[in-house]
Structure 1
């Protein structure tokens, strides 16, 4: 594989911007992006953002129809770093966990798992009931990484965009993709002043 490839899937959960921002961050890097957009995600795009389909598709190197089960991504011989589902709906999470691959998103995720590649699911749901938690546990046991986009307030974000960028950059970290300028504790972020050392009885 001469160029690193990453699959980015966007489902219909709230948080369409996570997937779009991931594509924007990857665009200037030496990473070939393969986008899959679910039908529900296209609706969410219109509800939550001003991003057009055309503008979104231009961010990806290749766009695969969600119904194209015969796409390159459906085969383990097509080598990738893995797959980011951002955001990930409960429906998609459950379908991946069950192995019922009814579209290219769940099929590509199944391939990533069987080939022991990295699958990162930015699940957008709260609160969680026991069924959600059991599904998340099953996927973790299968090798997936559950990555709810939780903001990191230690970076003192000054905007919603800053919080989104940090969550997406941390997710891309899991594929060993370094986003320059991301605030990192102990590197370009440090405690504001002296930190009191814990006592032995703390």
Structure 2
């Protein structure tokens, strides 16, 4: 009897507004029993504090415990890294995860990735996905977007990157902020091929 192989996925969160998207996504990724390699930018920590009231610890091992306590999930494996940890598996194609999601993705991170700049682990991890031909999903929240943002998105989309804006739909008649957040997170899970039970699908039977 073969033992199921646990999926290895990368998740990065940058300083764009929308920390709740990243936190909710982490919840569902761990609930799927995946192995998650996580890195937060310094700006992301500021957004977590301002938007969610969470003062996240800087030590990676403490960060993992803090996030697990916040989302209440013991499943999966959560490995966290400092933004300058060049020994992380995220920094090398020889041990890279099968996919990387940057959620939320700031305009600055988007620009750096589009130009092949790798000044930190998040940018390097995205660069690894591109050079290895692996799945890269960017979740920008900036609005409105400038021509620079659009050009960067187009450049990356032509390279096979999934540009998935944090733009919730309303056909499911959301009743709460959580419903709106889950709409976007469900789209990300679909892109990763992870089975999910959150939110209705268009045209699906209600029973």
Q: TM-score, normalised by structure 2?
A: 0.86
SS in structure 1 at match of 2:138: strand
Give the 3 Å change call, closer, same or farther, for CA 48–142 of structure 1 in structure 2.
same
State the shift of 1:180 in Å. 1.8
Whether the 8 Å contact between 2:182 and 2:198 is mirrored in structure 1 is no
Among 161, 164, 175, the alignment partner of 1:144 is: 161
The partner residue of 1:178 within 180, 191, 195 is 195
> Is structure 2 residue 56 aligned with structure 1 residue 56?
no
Residues 155, 189 of structure 1: 8 Å contact kept:
no
For 1:52 and 1:97, the matched residues in 2 are separated by 31
Provide the rounded CA distance (Å) in 2 between the counterparts of 1:47 and 1:181.
27
RMSD of equivalent CA atoms = 1.8
**In 2, distance between residues paired with 1:135 and 1:85?**
15
Q: Which residue of 1 aligns with 2:45?
A: 42
Cα distance in 2 for residues equivalent to 1:134 and 1:28: 35
* Structure 1 residues 105-184: aligned runs within 5 Å: 105-184=122-201
Q: Deviations over 1:43-86 (max 9, x none)?
A: 01100003342422666610011111221111112142211111
Structure 1 unmatched ranges of 5 or more = 191-202
SS at match of 2:156: helix
| Equivalent residues in 2 for 1:59-78, closer than 5 Å | 61-78=78-95
Secondary structure in structure 2 of the residue aligned to 1:101: coil
What's the offset of the Cα at 1:182?
A: 2.8
- Corresponding residue to 2:14 among 11, 15, 19: 11
Instruction: Write the distance in 2 (CA, Å) between the matches of 1:168 and 1:189.
Output: 20
Between structure 1 and structure 2, the one with the greater Rg is 1
TM-score (norm 1): 0.88
Q: Any unmatched runs of 5+ in structure 2?
A: 57-62
Are positions 1:91 and 2:94 aligned together? no
